[in-house]
Amino acid sequence: MNVEEKVKEIVAGVSGVDVNEVTLQSAVGDFPQWDSMGQMAIIQQVEEAFDISFEPEEMMEMEDVNDIVKAAEAKL
């Protein structure tokens, strides 16, 4: 599974939506469960999935799925 697919799967799982509803443009707040708690859970699960860790400055830039994918890819 590539990074994009995994991130979409994590976002879908945390947000409680079907993975097909998640696009690269899906952003914080687009799904009711993707609030601040959801954002933290997503970041934590992405870190665990790829065994990486993000700095606060990097987390702040994560507004949508594409940002998260790019940030994760940059660490691999």
Partner 1 sequence: MLTIEQQIERNAQRMPEKVALICKDTRVSYGELWERCCEAAKTLQNDAGFYKGKRVVLAAAGNAEFVYQYFGTHLAGGICVPIDPDTKPARREYIERIVATGAPSDGMADIMFTTGTTGAPKGVVLTHENIAASARNINAYIGNDADDVELLALPVSHSFGLGRLRCVLSKGGTMVLLGTFANVKRFFAAMEEHHVTGFGMVPAGWAYLKMMSRDKIRNYAGQLKYIEIGSSFMSVEDKKMLMEWLPNTRICMHYGLTEASRSAFMEFHEYAENLSSIGKAAPNVDIRIIDGEICVKGEHVTQRYWNESPKRIAQDFHDGYFRTGDSGWMDEDGHIYIKGRIKEIINVGGEKVSPMEVEDVLNAIPQIKESACCAMPDMVMGEVVEAFIVEKEPVTDAEIKEIIKPQLENYKWPKRIVRVDAIPKTSSGKIQRLQLKEV
Q: Which residues, 43 to 72, sit near partner 1 by CB under 8 A?
A: 56-57, 59-61, 63
User: How far is it, in rounded angstroms, from Cα 47 to Cα 49?
Assistant: 6
Task: Number of residues interacting with partner 1: please give it, by CB under 8 A.
Answer: 19
Give the residue with the Cβ less far from partner 1, 27 or 52.
27
Partnered with residue 27 across adjacent β-strands are 64
56 vs 76, beta carbon nearer partner 1:
56
Query: 65-75 and 36-50 are packed helices; what angle lies between their axes, rounded to 10 degrees?
Result: 30
Q: Which residues bind partner 1 (CB under 8 A)?
A: 16, 27-29, 32-40, 56-57, 59-61, 63
